[in-house]
A and B are shown apart, each in its own frame.
Chain A
Amino acid sequence: MKTLDQILAEHPFFAGLEPRYLALVAGCAKNLHFEAGEYLIREGESADQFFVIRHGKVAVEVHVPGRPPVTVQTVGEGEIVGASWLLPPYRWAYDAKAIDFVRATALDAKCLREKCEEDHDLGYDLMKRFLPVVVSRLHTTRMQLLDVYGSPR
């Protein structure tokens, strides 16, 4: 059976992370699984962990009153769910729901924030991994806002 260090080392998000940091991060990690339809994240709840997706697909949803929830993004194997744990007020702004059976590794946010405060090199390394994800999602959101496939006006 693989250790958490090994599992994280094999995940693209943590590719190349120094072994000493992998051990620190793994100290905040636990493996979880979700059945289809189960929620990983609920809007408004405390962002006290984030998820490294190892198998399956997760829908990022926004609840719209009077309408079914709108899926604005799907996240799959090799990707991560959740960046709100990085910044106050550490609160989720959306739901994340397993579309099919999902295996994930959950990282305890408080534990990880404390380790980043103690070792800024670790914090800087993690920021360099999160920022491209956040920027990429900002770009894709802009493209979605453009509604490029809508009827020409």
Chain B
Amino acid sequence: MVPRPFRIISRHRETRDTITLALMPGPDGQAFSFEPGQFNMLYLFGVGEIPVSISGDPASPRRLVHTVRAVGATSAGLCGLARGDMIGVRGPFGTAWPVADALGSDVVFVAGGLGLAPLRPAIYQVLSERKRYGRVFLLYGARGPQDILYRAELERWRRRLDVDIDITVDHATGDWHGSVGVVTEIVKRAGFDPDHAVAMICGPEIMMRFTMAALQDRGVATEQIYVSMERNMKCAIGFCGHCQFGPSFICKDGPVMRFDRIENVFSVREV
């Protein structure tokens, strides 16, 4: 429950309102291990604490990476920090993407907007053992070309011959030569085997709802679909109840959840 001090070692602007921070452990110097999909509570001293997914490589436990979008006082404050500044970190918390369970299957990552950040550790892990998986797809939807995260990395992955990357934006101007349309359209045309695929989805809940429908239309079983849920989190250890989602707490039973286990609650509008 006590935040550990971490120092910012690099700061990279991803988009107009989104920053990626790389952190290293402070005075205690202990490495930070986590599983893909987990999150931390980031504490901006004197301002507040917010949950943020870990977006770095699980194979680099001495370099903790978070991508933060400035939407409130704490997140805007985090985005405004500079190299050398300290923050507090509690975590890691929550459940992980089923990277090991997907061995031997096609893997379909579907990301929307900032949802690429929580998926990136799982992508790193799958790519590090690429030969142990079937076909790998990264289907990514963003608002516009200027809102695409991790551009350099996407371009690098795209140059690989063993990953299918399809990116679409809601609308575009200028010299964008990629697809324009919604992410469900690229789900429809992706060449995965629905009988032997594991899908991991992260994005705004409405995007995940439509994506789930598109995956089910393709014949992917609900027990093969995983989503990362988001609710207002405070304690992150299942005590305060802020993140209750039906019978579950997102902070400890999620954020990554198998869709067939939450399907009934997911469709309830008031939850």
Interface, chain A (partner B; CB < 8 A): 57, 59-60, 67-74, 76, 99-100, 140, 143-144, 146-152
Instruction: Pick the 7 closest A-B CB pairs, nearest first.
Output: A149-B113, A149-B143, A68-B173, A148-B204, A74-B180, A71-B172, A143-B182
Q: Is the CB of B179 within 8 A of A74?
A: yes
Query: When A and B form their complex, what is the total count of cross-chain residue pairs whose Cβ atoms lie within 8 Å?
Result: 64
Identity of the chain A residue whose Cβ is nearest the Cβ of B207 in the assembled complex: A148
* Cβ–Cβ contact A147 & B143, under 8 A: yes
**A149: chain B residues within 8 A (beta carbon):** 112-114, 141-143, 147, 170, 203-204, 207
The smallest C-beta distance from A133 to any residue of chain B, in angstroms, reads 12
Given contacts A73-B180, A140-B182, contact A146 B206 (CB under 8 A): yes
A57, B178: Cα distance in complex, Å = 9
Q: B residues near A, CB below 8 A?
A: 17, 69, 71, 112-114, 141-143, 147, 168, 170-174, 176-182, 184-185, 203-204, 206-207, 210
CB distance from B214 to the nearest CB of A (A): 11
Who on chain A is nearest to B168 by CB? A74
Evaluate whether A69 and B142 lie within 8 angstroms (CB atoms) in the complex, with A74-B180, A140-B185, A151-B71 already known.
Answer: no
Shortest Cβ distance from A143 into B: residue: B182
Taking the closest CB of chain B, its distance from the CB of A67, in whole angstroms, is: 7
With A148-B206, A148-B207 given, is the CB distance from A140 to B177 under 8 Å? no
Contact check, A74 vs B181: say whether CB atoms are below 8 A apart.
Answer: yes
> Which residue of B is nearest A140, CB measured?
B182
Query: Within the assembled complex, what's the spacing in Å between the Cα atoms of A73 and B168?
Result: 10
User: CB distance B142 to A143 under 8 Å?
Assistant: no
Give the Cβ gap from B164 to chain A, nearest Cβ, in Å: 15
Chain A residues with Cβ under 8 A from B181's Cβ? 73-74, 140, 144
- Establish whether residues B184 and A67, one from each chain, have CB atoms under 8 Å apart when the complex forms: no
Distance between B87 CB and nearest chain A CB, rounded to angstroms:
22
**Residues of chain A with a CB closer than 8 A to B112's CB:** 148-149
CB-based contact A71/B206 at 8 Å = no
Give Cα A152 to B114, complex, Å.
Answer: 12
> Is A152 within 8 A of B172, CB to CB?
no
